[in-house]
């Protein structure tokens, strides 16, 4: 045992960074949620902040926006990613260039991409309205109106996340033994039957994994919201998410206790959703 002690020196830096930048902020945030704090003066108020945010319409609106965007992100991204991955899996040549092309948006900085997309969503000079007018339709206000702002964020998230999900699905497809498809063909199964009876069932673990990661990513949406409509989520707080609410409460309004309480609430929601999805995955296995 003594001979192995020196190996702990190798993990000590990583452990120290974990304690300093992850565990300590988590504990401090949990403590702040029971206080009324401006970071200069902190007063213990117990559960008062939790009672307060329970009736905060701004937070409830942010929670609704977050769940709305997360749901439609998954609804639009996963089926399209599965379809494209299935088509790519059938390609024998030049598969790698297509992987790179689809994956490029995911590795692109969200901040930089959001700035570019802000110009693309411009009602007067943006490429989206130019294309709509070319087809004879009236241009939309996109980020400038509450009725279309959420749609704009969903489209941007589809562009950003799709490549990652395609690659994960493609990896899952390549683990399916080709003998299963050959046996199905011998039994007279067509392409649709093979897809519904073999591909989809065997990709359930992959789909659950993407649902978990997509949900966590959706619940933590902030950068594009900030770039599109500031922390308030303009227009009319129509795209303000919970993380944007936390940022506004803490760093804009200096209500750090409320921001910390909302962060604890978000943590509990993400943990609950993750536990449910993991249990579903274990049950499927």
What's the rounded mean pLDDT across residues 55-81? 95
- pLDDT over 90, % of the chain: 69
Structure confidence at residue 285 (pLDDT): 59
- Prediction pTM value: 0.90
pLDDT in tens, 81-118: 999 999 998 887 777 888 888 899 999 999 999 999 99
CB contact at 8 A, 63 and 54: no
d(CA 223, CA 229): 10
Q: CA 79 to CA 268: how far, in whole Å?
A: 28
Cβ atoms of residues 151 and 126 within 8 Å: no
> CA–CA separation, 247 vs 224, rounded Å?
13
Per-residue three-class SS string for 77-118: HHHHHHHHHHHHHCCCCCHHHHHHHHHHHHHCCHHHHHHHHH
Q: Could you tell me how far CA 179 lies from the centroid of its own chain?
A: 36
Q: What number does CATH give the domain 39-284?
A: 1.10.3720.10
How crowded is residue 186: how many other Cβ atoms within 10 Å of its Cβ? 8
pLDDT at 240 (0 to 100) = 94
Q: What is the pLDDT of residue 232?
A: 82
Whole-number pLDDT of residue 189: 86
pLDDT digits (tens, 9 = 90+) for 9-23: 888 899 999 999 999
d(CA 96, CA 110): 24
Q: Which of 244, 50, 10, 283 is nearest to 149 (CA)?
A: 244
DSSP 4: G
Query: Residue 1: pLDDT above 60?
Result: no
């Amino acid at each position: 045992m003594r001979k192995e002690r020196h190996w702990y020196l190798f993990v000590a830096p990583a452990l120290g960074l974990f304690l300093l930048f992850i565990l300590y902020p988590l504990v401090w945030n949990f403590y702040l949620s029971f206080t009324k704090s401006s970071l200069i003066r902190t007063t213990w108020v117990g559960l008062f902040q939790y009672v307060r945010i329970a009736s905060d319409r701004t937070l409830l609106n942010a929670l609704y926006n977050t769940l709305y965007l997360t749901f439609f992100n998954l609804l639009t991204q996963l089926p399209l990613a599965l379809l494209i991955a299935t088509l790519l899996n059938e390609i024998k040549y030049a598969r790698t260039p297509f992987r790179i092309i689809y994956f490029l948006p995911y590795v692109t900085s969200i901040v930089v991409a959001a700035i570019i997309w802000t110009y693309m969503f411009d009602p007067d000079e943006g490429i989206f309205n130019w294309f709509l007018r070319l087809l004879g339709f009236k241009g939309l206000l996109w980020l400038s109106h509450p009725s279309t702002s959420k749609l704009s964020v969903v489209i941007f998230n589809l562009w950003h996340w799709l490549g990652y999900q395609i690659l994960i699905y493609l990896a899952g497809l390549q683990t399916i033994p080709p003998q299963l498809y050959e046996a199905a063909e011998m039994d007279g199964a067509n392409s649709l039957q093979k897809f519904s009876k073999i591909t989809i069932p065997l990709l359930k673990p992959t789909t659950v994994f993407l649902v978990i990661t997509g949900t966590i990513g959706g619940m933590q949406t902030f950068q594009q919201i900030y770039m599109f409509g500031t922390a308030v989520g303009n227009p009319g707080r129509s795209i303000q998410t919970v993380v944007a609410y936390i940022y506004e409460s803490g760093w804009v309004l200096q209500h750090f206790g409320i921001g910390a309480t909302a962060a604890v609430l978000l943590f509990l929601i993400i943990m609950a959703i993750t536990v449910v999805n993991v249990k579903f995955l274990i049950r499927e296995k």
